Chains A and B, each alone.
Chain A
Amino acid sequence: MFYWPIAKITSLGFSGDWLATLSEPKILEVIWFTLWQAALSTLVTLVVAIPGAYLLYRKSFPGQSLIKALITIPFVLPSIVVAVGFTVFRGVHDFWIEFGLTFLSDPIYWIIAAHVFVNYSIAVRTIGGVWSGLDTEIDDAAELDGAGRLRSLLAISLPQLRPAVFSTAALVFLFSATSFGIVLVLGGGQVQTIETAIYFSATQFLDLESAAALVFIQTLITAAAFLVGSSLAKGTVGLEQVFEGTRKPRVDKRDWPAAVVTAGIVLGLLVMPMLLVLVEAFKVGDGWGLRNFANLGTRGARDLLNISVLDAAANSLRNMVVAAGIAFFLGTLISWLLVRTRQKLLDLVFLVPLGVSSVVLGFGFLVSFNSSWFPLRSSWLIVPLAQALIALPMVIRLVYPALVSIGKEPIEQASLDGASSWQIWRFVESGMIKGVLLTAAGYAAIISVGEFGASSFLAYGSEGTIPTLLFRLIARPGEQNYGMAMAVSAILIVFVLLVMLLLSRYSRYKQA
């Protein structure tokens, strides 16, 4: 399902002279920009995510799980909603410009900020998931010896976290390098990355030669990022099973640098745009009220919508359960098999799709699959199946490194003790990477909830989802439609928040 459409696209453009396309100065510029903006986005994300991971996974304080859930929301917000939310920074932005920081008027800085906004949670969660499994004894000993927090971070934790940090870096780099909506919307269509260039050549100019050349380059970059990421992430961490809440120390005064950075990012960058969207949802004319939500119950002005928001939410929920279930099951199984077989090539085959652009995939589907390929098209199942496919590489990408980091020892030990593979998984492995498994299930769920591309092709009429409803509304003029679109965004935000909160509840319940 991944490789066929991509092979098809590439073969359509194969006749052309790739090298000529690739050596055009404009294309080179696009490639260079893609690389450096992704690298910068990754660097900034990591720098702010490490203190966040420390506070949220290594320490305990009230409201922690709410914050963990909150930071995940941006990951699924449609780019137009991100753009609406980011208008909250206009005032600050104008102030900086007045202040003389005119370089900030370049949309590139908005794009990078938005990449941090979207990817912060994935970095915090993947690094934090591993960090919470690290032994605290060395830290404690260092503290007794008078080492400060920063020093023990640099000398003890970071080297231990190296694999997690590098595999997270590879992931964030890929998401930033292939991000489409954010670059398009915040860049006004004037800032080009490989991804937007593919979109313009393929769908606007029908220039499949250039598109194929760019797809080829993008696939190379994806593969390279994984190879570099995984070779730097080598080594096992020796995780041990931890029980959340029992051993984690409370936040204390000496954690203030981490607290300041994290509070700044969470409140200043992540929460403000979402708050603006919530505020807009309750704005009615010059006053406030619930009219936008009330309107949603009625299929909109003149029956613009085929379906009420409640039905759409029910569809989204149903799709989420099916898609996340399939993606989580298959993804965990594939990761487990990958660890057992240790096949480098197989590894790549399953991981590369994550970096392949949705634009390419969408266009590949367009040219590859006719009706006989999608016989399920008339069934609602097709949407969650497609979403499961989209979420699958993400699950693998999260679970696989965690399984690798367990190392061989505990497994060999258990198998010497006569445990079957299933028993080892059930009692040893799954317990050790429980946090990661939960994160993977959570992301699979919210990828399905926020997914728009596949649904817009496949879910119509009474099968609409929350995001398809949102796009239908925001594509029409009028105060009422805009208000309803914001109300739908607010519902999406609350929906994701609840899903993430329920998941963490569930995990704590399981432990108890």
Chain B
Amino acid sequence: MKKLVSLLAGASLLLASCAPADQAATKVTLVAHDSFAISDESIAEFQEASGFELEIIRAGDAGSLTNRLVLTKDSPIADVVFGIDNTFRGIADENGIIEGELFPVDYADVCFNYDRLWFEKRGMTPPASWRDLTKPSYNSLTVVTNPLSSSPGLAFLAATVAAFGEQSFEQYWKELRDNGVMVAAGWEEAYFIYFSGSSGNGDYPIVLSYSSSPAAEIRENGKSQTAALLEECFRQIEFVGTLAGASNPEGAKALVEFLLSESFQNTMPGLMYVYPVNEKAVIPAEWSEFGPAANSTMGEDLSIATHREKWQTKWSAIFE
């Protein structure tokens, strides 16, 4: 037992002794969701230009990230947050976790994709809008993601509320259910396991994904196998901002500026599959051709944070 005690004591000492006493002046800490990516070159560039060392913490998906920041707001875990999106922004505002302003940093449009090849082979007409998906001709052809466990799922739920109103959006979902819609827990399963247009073995030719996804499905003939329905999509906007009570406000300011700069924004489509907000940033050529942003979007102006749980509960009741 003695051995064990001394071992544990040793381990805790090891943990305790490494705590740096004063890091505020030299280091700036960024907390981000799991999908955040930054190249080594960008990190080096920021550190060189600002003189601050950059530390990155990841805190789950956008929901977990926001909730964690609410729970730890009395002793903030970082200086800057990246990745609170417009579906969770309300929670951040209500709880006062941000100092100053949240700046839009990137966006992505949640749109349905369809497998062009599948429809061509059968001589069928692909849907023109997601409103068509309840039609009998599209019976058992569509995969959506669960709005409780997936952010594009929640985005589309919000779009249906915007389209049909609080009172009658459930009707659309009931019709969708009766028309044999498949529900996947996450985007990965929906896209790679059930969807036929990518390289998985799926047999559903319509999937809820992003407007940019077809740019990743370009085949040897130089064309994309898939296309997106670009009307009435939901625009997910991600924000960056300084946390209230940040221990290095000066570094935070420099980091926010860097994340909005042309240099970093140029890397975002490649690393995170999102559109940069900086108009000077370069968008890859295949994105402009095969994965353009949506023509029209809806649902972003709803106060999603307030109503989310109610909508999700209604949705669950339909799909239980």
Contact = CB atoms under 8 A, between A and B. Distances in A.
A188 B284 CA distance: 34
B129 interface: no
Interface string A348-381: 0000000000000011001100111101111100
A462 B19 contact: no
Given A87-B193, A479-B199, A188 B146 contact: yes
Interface string B7-30: 100000011111110000000010
Contacts of B55: 377-378
A467 to B, nearest CB: 13
B60 interface: yes
Contacts of A87: 193, 200-202
A301 B148 CA distance: 31
Contacts of B209: 477
A367 B72 contact: yes
Interface string A176-208: 000000001101111000000000101111100
A341 B4 CA distance: 13
A334 B183 contact: no
Contacts of B219: 285, 479
Interface string B289-320: 00000000000000000000100100010011
Contact of A203 (B39, B64, B220): B64
B244 interface: no
B199 A483 contact: yes
Contacts of B35: 475
Contacts of A188: 146, 182-185, 189
Interface residues on A, range: 35 or more
A84 B200 contact: yes
A304 B37 contact: yes
Interface stretch (A64-72, A394-402, A453-461): A453-461
A190 B319 contact: yes
A366 B31 CA distance: 12
B40 A461 contact: yes
A200 B148 contact: yes
Most buried by A among B20, B59, B67, B220: B67
Interface residues of B, number: 72
Contacts of A202: 67
Contacts of A200: 148-149
A200 B7 CA distance: 38
Contacts of A482: 192, 198-200
B112 interface: no
A22 interface: no
Interface string B191-215: 1110000111110000001101100
Contacts, number: 158
Interface string A275-307: 000001001010000000000000001111010
Interface string A314-351: 00000000000000001001100100010000000000
A411 interface: no
Contacts of B1: 337, 341
B320 A457 contact: no
Contact of B216 (A366, A378, A481): A481
B58 A460 contact: yes
A88 to B, nearest CB: 9
Contacts of B185: 184-185, 187-189
Q: Is the interface of A mostly helix, strand, loop or mixed?
A: helix
A190 B270 contact: no
A480 B188 CA distance: 14
A94 to B, nearest CB: 10
Interface in B249-291: 270-271, 273, 284
Nearest to A187: B185
B292 to A, nearest CB: 15
A168 B67 CA distance: 37
A83 B64 contact: no
Contact of B64 (A366, A460, A462): A366
B77 A371 contact: yes
Contacts of B7: 330
Interface in A198-220: 200, 202-206
A251 interface: no
A189 B60 contact: no
Contact of A12 (B71, B150, B187, B217): B71
Nearest to A306: B40
Given A367-B72, A477-B213, A83 B309 contact: no
A80 interface: yes
A363 B18 CA distance: 24
A203 B67 contact: yes
Contact of B40 (A330, A462, A475): A462
Nearest to A334: B4
A303 B183 contact: no
A372 B16 CA distance: 8
A146 interface: no
A190 B71 contact: no
Contact of A477 (B16, B217, B220): B217
B68 interface: yes
B320 A366 contact: no
Interface in A83-128: 83-84, 87, 90
Contacts of A505: none
A474 B210 CA distance: 15
Nearest to A381: B14
B150 A189 contact: yes
B215 to A, nearest CB: 8
Interface of A: 12, 80, 83-84, 87, 90, 184-185, 187-190, 200, 202-206, 280, 283, 285, 301-304, 306, 330, 333-334, 337, 341, 362-363, 366-367, 370-373, 375-379, 456-457, 460-462, 471-472, 474-483, 485
Given A87-B201, A456-B58, A477-B210, 11 more contacts: A80-B189, A190-B146, A202-B67, A203-B60, A334-B4, A337-B1, A370-B75, A371-B77, A375-B16, A375-B19, A456-B34
6 contacts: A189-B183, A200-B148, A285-B219, A303-B271, A379-B18, A477-B217
Interface of B: 1, 3-4, 7, 14-20, 29, 34-35, 37, 39-40, 43, 55-61, 63-64, 67-68, 70-72, 75, 77, 91, 146, 148-150, 182-189, 191-193, 198-202, 209-210, 212-213, 216-217, 219-220, 270-271, 273, 284, 309, 312, 316, 319-320
The 10 closest A-B pairs by CB, nearest first: A478-B216, A189-B146, A302-B270, A189-B185, A375-B18, A189-B149, A477-B213, A375-B19, A477-B216, A479-B199
